[in-house]
């Protein structure tokens, strides 16, 4: 980006006056002294800019400040006063003319073409035909990327990416990768231990919501993998019969894939790949319409005994996942089919439901002439922006201040911060892959899970402090009991309890579950099976690709040359040697589970797991056309130029 753009952004940073949605701007010429909002004595963005200038004083950002920023600069106003003002700001107006549209204008195809002409490629006519496809988010995730012939990127029903392009099927086409018995691996490395963490169930619930919002595999109804249970397994074969198996459904594949090595099998994602709140709103028209109240933009809801709003019950029989003995009508209707699985997920969904309806009240009071559809679509954008901001907060929280650039954005763990184009306008090159926006990968879908962190119990804490304990597994698909317990009481427990960390093993209620002889389930076995049947690379394959990728990571994770490199525990090393032929064969799930290295100050996940999660969350956020930072930067540019014109 040109120096003038960088300067303009920093100038505009002091002008936090703009309407939050960039497409609404229409300015008259005026001359007003900018209002400056203080961000306190320690501003992460200011610190980050100072770090960039210090490390590269002659770079494009360094030039803006003539190579230095006073050490005493602590606010945006200080940066504003340090900028070498660029003289050609007026010329920049033409470059952002596409941002100037009245909020009341009827938006046409011609306006869409004008608005997005700076992208430099032909727009898909199916996206520009109606403003519901380009001005607001679509339900299915299409038309986020507007390029003709590629508008399906990130939408439901299409394949996920591979982080580094590697596909590891046994035959290179579709046959699951070979390896040791997954149940034996589960027994050897994932048995429950007691290692506690300082994190709370609230964090775990948010992470589940983030993952579920971007990734949803559809189980095949015709393809299954049978995993023999080791004879004498204490949970599944205590009678030493030797004929017990675990059945795992393959992930449904994208039609037409899996025919050759040049067209290998690809798993189908049934959620949008954007962090857009689809876990709440749904990704199809049928689901979204069922969940709406059609009054002031609100979502439908039930009223609990405490008078609070809860998700509506599934009277209209939307397809949902359940457990034997629980009818889907007794579950809450919600955008993600897995949401009733536990009370943590239900709590986060209920919070976002209430936030959506709260914002609808505010918007409708401020815009009395807006109809239900306009309020709904606008608030859906606002909630999605809040959700994205929360996801970024999780990333920052998991790195200490000693990690380079951690206070601003975690992409600095993959690249030298000085090399990043940190003034972000869409499309941002670092979030693109092969000329397209990056979307959630297969590897994230398999590894960015939190099975070791599932607590044994949840606390239900009344306002007076009275506390009861509920088994986590017994809360599965118990939606009516969730409402009876009350969201406030559950949330008090979620912010009070702690959860196991990644060294704790997996709760046996999920690793060795059986409702009867026909329904056996091991969440670890399932993960390893899905890793192999979707052609996910092994631990060494993945991180060898990572170390040699275009990303050029600052934070290295080296492949393991020996089994001893996976663990310093002699028993774990012995088990690895007895089960695997070579360190090259160790599954990604197992390698991450054994990995003890962590980012400084992080006690939540091993750095190998966080790298995969952060890499994907970063790309998904910044490849999203509706990411709030793009609207903010565009708004600031437009406002600053309007004031200077």
Sign of the C-alpha dihedral, residues 188, 191, 194, 198? positive
Q: Are 486 and 305 in contact (CB under 8 A)?
A: yes
For residue 446, what is the DSSP state?
A: H
Say which residue the tokens 């960088």 belong to. 6
CA dist list (Å): 447 to 163, 262, 440, 528, 532: 12, 25, 12, 10, 12
Cβ count near 181 (within 10 Å): 16
Cβ count near 83 (within 10 Å): 19
3-state secondary structure of 630: helix
Nearest C-alpha neighbor of 160 from the set 505, 433, 499, 428: 433
Nearest C-alpha neighbor of 640 from the set 45, 2, 10, 38: 10
CB-based burial label for 556 (10 Å; 0-12, 13-18, 19+): exposed
Cβ count near 426 (within 10 Å): 20
CB-based burial label for 41 (10 Å; 0-12, 13-18, 19+): exposed
Three-class DSSP labels, 179-213: CCCHHHHHHHHCCCCCCECCCCHHHHHHHHHHHHH
3-state secondary structure of 160: coil
- Helix 372-397 vs helix 201-214: crossing angle, to nearest 10: 120
Q: How many CA atoms does the CB half-sphere of 36 hold within 13 Å?
A: 14
For residue 513, what is the DSSP state?
A: E
Rounded Cα distance between 166 and 559, Å, is 16
Flag whether 451 is marked binding: yes
Helix residue ranges per DSSP H, 291-410: 343-366, 372-397
Give every CB contact of residue 151 below 8 A, 6+ residues apart in sequence. 124, 126, 127, 142, 143, 145
CB-based burial label for 85 (10 Å; 0-12, 13-18, 19+): exposed
| Integer Rg of the chain from CA | 26
Rounded Cα distance between 295 and 118, Å, is 37
Rounded Cα distance between 99 and 638, Å, is 7
Rounded Cα distance between 161 and 444, Å, is 10
Give every CB contact of residue 110 below 8 A, 6+ residues apart in sequence. none
Q: Are 643 and 92 in contact (CB under 8 A)?
A: no
User: Tokens standing for 298?
Assistant: 């609100």
Q: Which residues are annotated as a binding site for heme b?
A: 451
Q: Which residues are annotated as a binding site?
A: 451
């Amino acid at each position: 980006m040109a120096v003038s753009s960088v300067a303009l952004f920093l100038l505009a940073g002091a002008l936090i006056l703009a309407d939050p949605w960039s497409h609404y701007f229409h300015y008259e010429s005026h001359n007003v002294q900018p209002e400056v909002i203080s961000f306190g004595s320690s501003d992460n963005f200011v610190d980050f800019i100072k770090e960039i200038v210090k490390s590269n004083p002659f770079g494009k950002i360094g030039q803006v400040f003539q190579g230095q920023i006073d050490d005493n600069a602590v606010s945006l106003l200080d940066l504003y006063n340090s900028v070498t003002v660029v003289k050609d700001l007026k010329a920049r107006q033409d470059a952002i003319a596409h941002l100037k549209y009245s909020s009341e204008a009827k938006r046409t195809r011609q306006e869409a073409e004008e608005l997005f002409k700076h992208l430099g490629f032909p727009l898909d006519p199916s996206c520009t035909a109606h403003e519901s496809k380009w001005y607001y988010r679509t339900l299915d995730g299409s038309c986020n990327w507007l390029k003709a012939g590629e508008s399906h990127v990130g939408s439901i029903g299409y394949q996920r990416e591979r982080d580094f392009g590697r596909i590891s099927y046994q035959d290179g086409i579709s046959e699951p990768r070979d390896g040791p018995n997954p149940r034996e691996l589960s027994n050897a490395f994932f048995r429950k231990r007691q290692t506690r963490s300082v994190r709370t169930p609230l964090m775990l619930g948010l992470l589940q919501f983030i993952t579920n919002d971007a990734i949803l595999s559809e189980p095949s109804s015709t393809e299954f993998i049978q995993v023999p249970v080791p004879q004498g397994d204490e949970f599944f074969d205590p009678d030493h019969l030797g004929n017990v198996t675990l059945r795992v459904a393959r992930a449904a594949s994208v039609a037409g894939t899996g025919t050759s090595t040049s067209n290998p099998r690809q798993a189908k994602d049934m959620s949008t790949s954007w962090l857009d709140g689809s876990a709440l709103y749904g990704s199809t028209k049928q689901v979204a319409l069922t969940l709406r109240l059609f009054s002031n933009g609100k979502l439908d809801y039930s009223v609990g005994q405490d008078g609070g709003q809860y998700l509506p019950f599934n009277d209209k029989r939307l397809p949902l996942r359940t457990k034997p003995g629980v009818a889907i009508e007794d579950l809450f209707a919600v955008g993600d089919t897995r949401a009733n699985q536990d009370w943590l997920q239900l709590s986060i969904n209920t919070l976002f439901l209430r936030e959506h309806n709260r914002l609808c009240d505010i918007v409708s009071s401020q815009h009395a002439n807006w109809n239900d559809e306009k309020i709904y679509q606008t608030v859906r954008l606002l909630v999605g922006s809040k959700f994205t901001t929360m996801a970024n907060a999780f990333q920052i929280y998991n790195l200490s201040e000693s990690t380079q650039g951690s206070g601003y954005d975690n992409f600095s763990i993959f690249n030298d911060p000085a090399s990043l184009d940190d003034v972000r306008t869409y499309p941002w090159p670092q979030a693109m892959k092969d000329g397209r926006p990056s979307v959630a990968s297969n590897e994230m879908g398999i590894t960015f899970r939190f099975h070791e962190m599932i607590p044994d119990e949840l606390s239900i804490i009344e306002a007076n402090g009275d506390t009861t304990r509920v088994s986590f597994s017994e809360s599965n698909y118990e939606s009516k009991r969730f409402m009876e317990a009350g969201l406030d009481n559950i949330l008090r427990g979620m912010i009070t309890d702690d959860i196991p960390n990644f060294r704790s093993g997996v709760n046996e209620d999920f690793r060795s579950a059986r409702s009867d002889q026909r329904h056996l389930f091991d969440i670890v076995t399932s993960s390893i099976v899905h890793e192999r049947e979707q052609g996910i690379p092994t631990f060494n394959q993945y991180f060898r690709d990572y170390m040699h990728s275009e990303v050029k990571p600052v934070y290295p994770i080296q492949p393991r040359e020996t089994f001893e490199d996976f663990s310093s525990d002699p028993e774990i090393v012995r088990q690895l040697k007895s089960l695997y032929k070579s360190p090259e064969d160790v599954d990604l799930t197992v390698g991450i589970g054994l990995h003890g290295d962590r980012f400084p100050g992080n006690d939540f996940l091993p750095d190998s797991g966080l790298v995969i999660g952060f890499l994907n969350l970063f790309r998904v956020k910044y490849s999203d056309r509706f990411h709030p930072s793009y609207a903010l930067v565009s708004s600031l540019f437009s406002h600053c130029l309007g004031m200077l014109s």
